[in-house]
Structure 1
Amino acid sequence: MAHAVKKKLVVCGGNGFLGSRICRAAANRGWSVTSISRSGEPNWSSVSASPTAPAWSDKVEWQKGDIMDPKTYTSHLENADAVIHSMGILLEADYKGVVSGKESPIAGLQRAFSASKAGTQNPMNRSEGEPLRPQERDGQLTYEVMNRDTAVSLAKEAADRKVPAFLYISAAAGAPVLPARYISTKREAESIISTQFPGMRSIFIRAPFMYDSSRTFTMPIAALGHMASMANDLTGGRLTWLMGAGGIKPLKADVVGDAVVEALEDEEVKGPVEVKQIETLATRAWRKNML
């Protein structure tokens, strides 16, 4: 009897906190999984409760590649059924100039919370194989670079290779302590990908704050987040503008990972996926895994 051909999934950022859980969920659901990251296999102690590689990791092909340099990863996109962008930055590195004395604290804060920063050259217009080049004067990896342009560049490479589905790990909201550009660049990436590549099913997982007991510092933050989200719910969500992601229910990272794979397997899922739908997808995945 002939065996069914496994669907191929490529996860850029698959060795990260969420990316590794996506790889686990997909591998356990029978996908052929390739992870691409600069370091290859995860540092397991940083993404799990053990420094030892889990049994499921043998099912994943851990490849090295640089999201800024398409020629280091495009060969892995061939014949893929889905591609995931699971990387970005929460904080920019403006503090380095302040600490080194090259920039005053005021100038550093002004730069950090500026209304706009440069990304890369237009990722839609770069030539074949051309690396992304940060345009800030010091080559800073800004939100525009990591949250927007790398996603658009990867989506373009996937579309050029006729990959049917592209999934982008976005965010539910920003936060008062973060520059507004953190969330605006996420939304810009969603808009560009959905409009520029209409032939590819695009999914945008708007994840909230994610926690796991293997990262102990996330647990008290999640507890506070649950209380804040309940208070926000009591007001009908009227505090979201003030609290941002802090007023949205946190989710366990495993839940989001399971939901991502379920979303890819459901051809009806496309566009933005909010927190309640993430929970619904994860519950459906859990029921399937129990069968």
Structure 2
Amino acid sequence: MRTLVSRLIHSTPPISRLNATAVRNLCTEPNKVDEPFKVEEAETVNVPPPPTEKLLVLGGNGFVGSHVCREALNHGLSVASLSRSGKSSLHDSWATDVIWYKGNLFSTDSLKEALNGVTAVISCVGGFGSNSYMYKIDGTANINAIRAASDQGVKRFVYISAADFGVVNYLLQGYYEGKRAAETELLTRFPYGGVILRPGFIHGTRTAGSMKIPLGVIGSPLEMVLQHAKPLTQIPLIGPLLTPPVNVIAVAKVAVRAATEPVFPPGILDVYGIQRYSQQHK
């Protein structure tokens, strides 16, 4: 028995010998920790850019419409407009960045072509003349555009209308009847994406041929005075005449916001609302 135990003791390698053997084995193994980490190169995937919003501005050659086009371009939007000649009558460099379609608002076919791929429409169409002419331009033309946009699946439609001026409404009956008819059509066709702006007198620098008409010389001081006199607009007959003017840049800014921001509330926005939204930072 004693002999068997002695043989077992002598046949078992000492702990130090085991440790030495383990260290020697570790040293002889390749040092994988120091090897560079190899990464397989990922396959390149071509991700298409996000879709660009396309905005159609009706009346883009006009005083308000031209400012709307420029504001939309400054926001990186794709901007289109419609004219009888198929090009801009403006001489500003930015006008060449607008996609111009040839046609008119009384032609369903030209409207369909201009509305192709459009996500929102801003109509600045309006005019003065006889009552029948004003109703045709301010009412019928805009109603045609609203219906065509609705049929084409456009999501949002912004209409530049006009504030009520009391007795002036009767003097320009065709103008206001046309505006209100277009408003009714818009609220019916676009209950969740229709926005109506009702500015009063719109001031700013207006281009007439080669002439620059500084409407702000009169409009800016009146806006500063009358914007704090809202209670006076409730006075019968003359009250509406005290509606404050608003800068064309403010109108353009709010129109583009209303056309592109999904959370912008639908409905009617008066001059005080236009001033408020134009002063907010996005």
TM-score by shorter chain over 0.5: yes
* Equivalence for 1:202: 194
Higher relative contact order (CA 8 A, sep 6+): 1
* One of 64, 68, 71 as aligned partner of 1:25: 71
Question: 2:122 touches 2:259 (CA, 8 Å); kept in 1?
Answer: no
Residue identity opposite 1:4 in structure 2? P
Q: After superposition, what is the alpha-carbon deviation per residue over 1:75-125, rounded to whole angstroms, capped at 9, x for unaligned?
A: 121221011221111x214xxxxxxxxxxxxxxxxxx6xxxxxxxxxxxxx
Displacement of 1:175 in angstroms is 6.0
State the TM-score, normalizing by the size of structure 1: 0.69
Query: For residues 118-157 of structure 1, what are the structure 2 equivalents within 5 Å?
Result: 141=133, 143-157=134-148
* One of 170, 190, 199 as aligned partner of 2:161: 170
* Equivalence for 2:129: 92
Q: After superposition, what is the alpha-carbon deviation per residue over 1:152-180, rounded to whole angstroms, capped at 9, x for unaligned?
A: 11111111111111111111223645324
* One of 59, 62, 72 as aligned partner of 2:100: 62
- Answering whether residue 95 of structure 2 is matched by residue 53 of structure 1, we say no
* Equivalence for 1:218: 215
Residue identity opposite 1:16 in structure 2? G
* Structure 2 CA distance for partners of 1:190 and 1:200, relative to 1, 3 Å: same
2-structure distance, mates of 1:165, 1:22: 15
* Structure 2 CA distance for partners of 1:282 and 1:86, relative to 1, 3 Å: same
Q: After superposition, what is the alpha-carbon deviation per residue over 1:31-86, rounded to whole angstroms, capped at 9, x for unaligned?
A: 11101122444433xxxxxxx423x3332112221112222232121221011221
Residue identity opposite 1:145 in structure 2? K
Displacement of 1:213 in angstroms is 3.2
Runs of 5+ unmatched residues, structure 2: 1-46, 207-211
* Structure 1 range deviating more: 250-259 or 63-72: 63-72
Displacement of 1:248 in angstroms is 1.4
2-structure distance, mates of 1:170, 1:240: 22
Q: After superposition, what is the alpha-carbon deviation per residue over 1:197-227, rounded to whole angstroms, capped at 9, x for unaligned?
A: 1466111111221111344352344257437
* Equivalence for 1:255: 250
Aligned-partner SS, 2:118: coil
Question: 1:202 touches 1:270 (CA, 8 Å); kept in 2?
Answer: yes
Aligned-partner SS, 1:208: coil
1-structure distance, mates of 2:83, 2:237: 34
Aligned-partner SS, 2:52: coil
* Equivalence for 2:270: 274
Residue identity opposite 1:255 in structure 2? A
* Equivalence for 1:109: none
Task: Mark the structure with the bigger radius of gyration.
Answer: 2
* Equivalence for 1:76: 114
* Structure 1 range deviating more: 79-88 or 214-223: 214-223
Displacement of 1:238 in angstroms is 2.1
Aligned-partner SS, 1:18: helix
2-structure distance, mates of 1:83, 1:265: 10
Question: 1:168 touches 1:204 (CA, 8 Å); kept in 2?
Answer: yes
2-structure distance, mates of 1:29, 1:227: 28
Aligned-partner SS, 1:260: helix
Residue identity opposite 2:261 in structure 1? D
* Equivalence for 1:159: 150
Runs of 5+ unmatched residues, structure 1: 45-51, 94-111, 113-139
- Answering whether residue 172 of structure 2 is matched by residue 179 of structure 1, we say yes
* Equivalence for 1:192: 185
Displacement of 1:29 in angstroms is 0.8
2-structure distance, mates of 1:250, 1:260: 16
- Answering whether residue 260 of structure 2 is matched by residue 265 of structure 1, we say yes
State the TM-score, normalizing by the size of structure 2: 0.71
2-structure distance, mates of 1:20, 1:204: 18
* Equivalence for 2:83: 37
Aligned-partner SS, 1:10: strand
